[in-house]
């Protein structure tokens, strides 16, 4: 069984290990490129949002590479994301009919542990629970790694590039709970020499839609580009937090929602409430600016956009909202980022 799932930035490593732990081989296809996007766009409906197009292109390329089982997250609620799999299943069936497509609902943990996963992989529920527990630790490790690399990039970008490869090699070799702890120590050792804490750096909070925030291909490597400009990116979104949120283990959730309440009295679906809540926390914590990224025509994030405009006026904090689709050019995006960083810098150091 060759299993494919959409790429998810650095967290792909954790998901890959999860699948391999369940006794399947992972076959994700080549890394995401312009070809992935154009393939996805070709088969997608006209008005759909960007994550649909990228994940669809991703699946097509995985099928070309020989995958026979496709896994897609699901869970129909207010956001369009929960409905992706109905259309993708139909479209992929027309392209190649020798594969199995499984939609895995995010909001039914019981079904996930005891029915769906055991049925797909032919393993016992205990094994699934154990694998999920390890997945949580792997993703925590990657979350930690992302925190370190963001900090390093802000101070010494080219050094960070070198150390990133080294760190990723360590993470890829992890295969048990004990090794996760060991890898954490090693990561700290690798990144420690270049971490110094001076105040002469600007901090920009990154909020938005989760897929765009996690997958560097989808957000045109915005974190890296900001790091190149000497900005420390602060972000609360990761696969680790999302898993914790789904398993109802995340205490930070409550804080986010209570902070969002001033602007959104009810969740409009998706991650809008988190976007607004996190932005509010950032604004209170004196973060210098906020960048909000979301797919073009994303419904919940558009509501969040309106809330963020109000928040920007209330706290006098610069907010840049970037909606991304397949026509976004990287050069245009970079110009906007540079201008925004200049604005933030001028505001911070004007005295």
Task: Please state, in angstroms and rounded to a whole number, the distance separating the CA atoms of residues 312 and 233.
Answer: 18
47 binds other proteins (CB under 8 A): yes
**What is the smallest separation between the CB atom of 54 and other proteins, expressed in angstroms?**
16
**What is the smallest separation between the CB atom of 56 and other proteins, expressed in angstroms?**
12
72 binds other proteins (CB under 8 A): no
242-281 residues in contact with other proteins (CB under 8 A) are: 263-270, 272
Task: Please state, in angstroms and rounded to a whole number, the distance separating the CA atoms of residues 24 and 5.
Answer: 12
70 and 2 in contact (C-beta within 8 Å)?
no
Residues 6+ away with beta carbon under 8 Å from 306: none
Q: Which is nearer to other proteins, 191 or 305 (CB)?
A: 305
Question: What token pair was written down for 37?
Answer: 């996007």
CA-wise closest residue to 309 among 344, 263, 261 = 263
Number of residues that bind other proteins (CB under 8 A): 38
- 45: alpha, beta or left? (left if phi > 0; alpha if psi -120 to 50): beta
76 binds other proteins (CB under 8 A): yes
Length of the chain: 351
Q: Which is nearer to other proteins, 33 or 90 (CB)?
A: 90
182 and 221 in contact (C-beta within 8 Å)?
no
CA gyration radius, the chain: 20
Q: Which is nearer to other proteins, 299 or 334 (CB)?
A: 299
CA-to-CA separations, 148 to 141, 292, 299, 318, in angstroms, rounded: 11, 22, 33, 25
Instruction: Give me the helix-helix angle, 157-172 and 177-191, nearest 10°.
Output: 160
The correct pick among 4, 71, 72, 79 for binding other proteins (CB under 8 A) is 79
90 binds other proteins (CB under 8 A): yes
322-341 residues in contact with other proteins (CB under 8 A) are: 323
The correct pick among 30, 33, 66, 78 for binding other proteins (CB under 8 A) is 78
Contacting range for other proteins; rule: CB under 8 A; set: 174-182, 209-217, 284-292, 302-310: 302-310
315 binds other proteins (CB under 8 A): no
267 and 303 in contact (C-beta within 8 Å)?
no
Q: Which is nearer to other proteins, 91 or 194 (CB)?
A: 91
Task: Please state, in angstroms and rounded to a whole number, the distance separating the CA atoms of residues 107 and 278.
Answer: 22
Q: Which is nearer to other proteins, 22 or 307 (CB)?
A: 307
Contacting range for other proteins; rule: CB under 8 A; set: 118-126, 147-155, 192-200, 293-301: 293-301
Q: Which is nearer to other proteins, 139 or 323 (CB)?
A: 323
306 binds other proteins (CB under 8 A): yes
Residues of this chain that bind other proteins (CB under 8 A): 45-49, 76-80, 82-83, 86-87, 90, 263-270, 272, 296-300, 302-303, 305-307, 309-310, 321, 323
């Amino acid at each position: 069984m060759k299993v494919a799932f959409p790429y998810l930035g650095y967290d792909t490593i954790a998901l890959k290990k999860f699948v391999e732990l369940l006794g399947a081989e992972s076959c994700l296809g080549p890394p995401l490129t312009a070809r992935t996007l154009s393939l996805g766009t070709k088969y997608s409906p006209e008005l759909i949002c960007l994550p649909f197009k990228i994940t669809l292109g991703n699946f097509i390329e995985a099928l070309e590479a020989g995958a026979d089982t496709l896994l897609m997250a699901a869970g129909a609620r207010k956001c369009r994301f929960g409905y992706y799999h109905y259309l993708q299943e139909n479209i992929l069936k027309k392209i190649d009919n020798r594969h199995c497509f499984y939609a895995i609902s995010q909001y039914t943990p019981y079904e996930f542990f005891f029915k769906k996963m055991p049925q797909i992989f032919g393993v016992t529920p205990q094994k699934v629970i154990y694998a999920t527990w390890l997945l949580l630790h792997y993703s925590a490790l990657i979350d930690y790694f992302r925190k370190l690399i963001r900090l390093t990039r802000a101070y010494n970008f080219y050094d960070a590039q070198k150390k990133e490869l080294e760190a990723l090699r360590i993470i890829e070799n992890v295969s048990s709970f004990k090794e996760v702890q060991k890898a954490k120590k090693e990561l700290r050792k690798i990144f420690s020499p270049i971490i110094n804490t001076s105040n002469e750096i600007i901090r920009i909070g990154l909020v938005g839609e989760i897929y765009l925030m996690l997958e560097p291909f989808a957000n045109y490597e915005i974190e890296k580009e900001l790091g190149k400009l000497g900005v420390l990116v602060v972000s609360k979104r990761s696969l680790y937090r999302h898993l914790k949120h789904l398993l109802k283990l995340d205490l930070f959730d409550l804080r986010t929602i209570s902070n969002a309440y001033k602007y959104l009295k009810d969740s409009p679906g998706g991650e809008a409430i988190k976007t607004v809540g996190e932005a509010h926390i950032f604004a209170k914590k004196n973060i210098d600016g906020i960048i909000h990224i979301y797919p073009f025509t994303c419904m919940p994030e558009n509501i969040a956009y309106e809330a963020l405009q109000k928040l920007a006026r209330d706290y006098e904090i610069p907010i840049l909202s970037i909606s991304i689709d397949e026509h976004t050019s990287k050069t245009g995006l970079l110009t906007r980022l540079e201008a925004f960083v200049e604005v933030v810098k001028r505001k911070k150091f004007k005295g």
